[in-house]
Amino acid sequence: MTREILRVGAPSLSRVAAEVVDVTDPAVRRDAADLREALAAFRAAHGFGRAIAAPQIAIDRRMIALAVPGWPDVIVNPEIVWTSDERVTLWDDCMCFPDTLVRVSRYASISVRCVDLSGAVHLKAQLPLAEAELLQHEIDHLDGKLSFDRAVGEHAIVQRDVFDADRAAFARQVDYCPQP
């Protein structure tokens, strides 16, 4: 059964998620399956979405499902262990507000340590920008933060249809704008 993705304003989106103590716990495994299913359903419905954090579907655990080559499909207790000095601005989108984009500032690169569902520890060092911004966004969810909390500059919030109608103009307002 696919859990609904919470929308902006849901109180649980502003809470810090609980650390996962035992990745073999059957409840953790069920929640991980729900997380993977929610990501697949969102991708099928909206055509985008590389990751989803557990709090986005009302699971109070530090877990993220990923659809990113080279990563486990679910990571547990991710932590940023290094950040670049360089920062970039970009238009951030989110499953909790799929019709809106927010201009934010993120580190250009980060290193992340996490655990997979087998208990293996992973260190992903000096991530390329596309992965770095994604992981920062998802870890923000685990810490009770949304893109709106990181908005920068005037007119930092734009509706997706307005953005799509003049993508080139909006791309000129940021340092990084991935292709659709």
Annotated binding site for Fe cation: 94, 137, 141
Helix, coil or strand: residue 97: coil
Report yes or no on 130 lying in a domain. yes
What's the whole-model pTM score? 0.95
Q: Tell me, what DSSP letter sits at residue 176?
A: B
Helix, coil or strand: residue 91: strand
Report yes or no on 6 lying in a domain. no
> Token pair of 92, please?
């951030």
Report yes or no on 29 lying in a domain. yes
Q: 154: phi > 0 → left, psi -120 to 50 → alpha, else beta; which? A: beta
Quote the CA–CA distance of 69 and 86 in Å, as a whole number.
25
Report yes or no on 177 lying in a domain. no
Residue 64's domain comprises 11-172
Q: What is the pLDDT of residue 119?
A: 97
CATH code at position 24: 3.90.45.10
Report yes or no on 180 lying in a domain. no
Quote the CA–CA distance of 129 and 111 in Å, as a whole number.
11
Report yes or no on 5 lying in a domain. no
Active site residue 154: no
> Token pair of 130, please?
């596309």
Annotated binding site: 94, 137, 141
Q: What is the pLDDT of residue 1?
A: 52
pLDDT in tens, the chain (180 residues): 578 899 999 998 999 999 999 999 999 999 999 999 999 999 898 887 899 999 999 999 999 999 999 999 999 999 999 999 999 999 999 989 989 999 999 999 999 999 999 999 999 999 999 999 999 999 999 999 999 999 999 999 999 999 999 999 999 999 998 765
Quote the CA–CA distance of 177 and 180 in Å, as a whole number.
9
Establish how many alpha carbons lie within 13 A of residue 34's alpha carbon, considering only the half-sphere containing its beta carbon. Answer: 21
How many Cβ atoms sit within 10 Å of the Cβ of residue 96? Answer: 22
Report yes or no on 17 lying in a domain. yes
Please name which of 154, 163, 63 lies closest in space to residue 115, comparing C-alpha atoms: 63
Total structural domains within the chain: 1
Quote the CA–CA distance of 67 and 111 in Å, as a whole number.
18
Q: What is the dihedral of CA 77, 82, 85, 87, to 10 degrees?
A: -20
* Residue 58 CB contacts under 8 Å (≥ 6 apart), including other chains: 3, 6, 10, 12
Active-site position among 4, 19, 131, 138: 138
Report yes or no on 119 lying in a domain. yes
